[in-house]
């Protein structure tokens, strides 16, 4: 297991397991981008950009106040983001990706991130969260395939992995149709004009 050394008040050096050193959940920052993308490559592989859920994130910004990073000893080791979608006429949030660095798994970081993000979404007044993921993991946070049977995604997906959580009772009643992105557009990176390139 990874360890860290730390001086005590009496100046003794003690070895701490990675689990004993603090992890901080904070709002995602612009400066997290490179580390977040590297973490997602490690967790999902380079093919992650071809996943159906990515179509709901292309060119969009995450929902305001709903992107979080986990930092451990100055290193980004976890990420979660939620996105505005329209789920068959009903406003909802799409959660993903959730990822924790392989060196920091099974310490409860994923659960902390999930609980933090769900609580923040509820506090902001959102009615429901949808995701595509493993029910055996996400059911502990209240996600289930109930009420999801008439929704679809813009691409291939495994229906049993489409899960929902109501933050407001009845928010997913009767939802049917295609889930589409509704979040704010991300600013496109500027390409230099031919004149500027020639300069």
Residues near ligand COA, by CB under 6 A: 43, 96-100, 105-111, 133-134, 136-137
Nearer to ligand COA, 97 or 183 (CB): 97
Nearer to ligand COA, 57 or 147 (CB): 57
Nearest-approach distance from CB 95 to ligand COA, in angstroms: 8
Nearer to ligand COA, 134 or 149 (CB): 134
- Sorted by sequence, the CB contacts under 8 Å of residue 8 that are 6+ apart come out as 14
Nearest-approach distance from CB 59 to ligand COA, in angstroms: 20
Nearer to ligand COA, 21 or 188 (CB): 21
Joined tokens for residue 47 = 């093919």
What are residue 79's DSSP bridge partners?
Answer: 69, 99
Q: Which residue is nearest to ligand COA (CB)?
A: 110
Nearest-approach distance from CB 30 to ligand COA, in angstroms: 22
Nearest-approach distance from CB 39 to ligand COA, in angstroms: 9
Counting every residue written for the chain, the total comes to 199
- In contact, 130 and 179? CB cutoff 8 Å: yes
Inter-CA distances, 4 with 16, 18, 71, 108, Å: 5, 6, 15, 19
- In contact, 116 and 68? CB cutoff 8 Å: yes
């Amino acid at each position: 297991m990874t360890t860290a050394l730390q001086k005590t008040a009496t100046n003794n050096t003690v070895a701490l397991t990675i689990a004993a050193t603090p992890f901080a959940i904070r709002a995602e920052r612009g400066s997290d981008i490179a580390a977040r993308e590297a973490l997602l490559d490690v967790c999902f592989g380079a093919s992650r950009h071809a996943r159906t859920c990515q179509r709901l994130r292309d060119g969009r910004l995450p929902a305001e106040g709903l992107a979080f990073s986990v930092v451990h000893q100055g290193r980004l080791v976890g990420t979660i983001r939620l996105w505005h979608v329209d789920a068959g006429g009903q406003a909802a949030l799409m959660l993903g990706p959730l990822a924790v660095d392989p060196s920091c798994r099974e310490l409860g970081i994923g659960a902390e991130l999930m609980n933090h993000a769900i609580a923040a979404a509820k506090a902001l007044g959102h009615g429901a969260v949808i995701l595509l993921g493993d029910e055996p993991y996400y059911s502990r946070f209240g996600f289930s395939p109930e009420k999801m049977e008439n929704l679809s995604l813009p691409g291939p997906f495994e229906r049993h992995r489409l899960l929902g959580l109501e933050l407001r009772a009845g928010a997913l009643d009767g939802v049917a149709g295609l889930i589409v992105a509704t979040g704010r557009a991300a600013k496109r990176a500027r390409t230099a004009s031919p004149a500027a390139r020639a300069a």
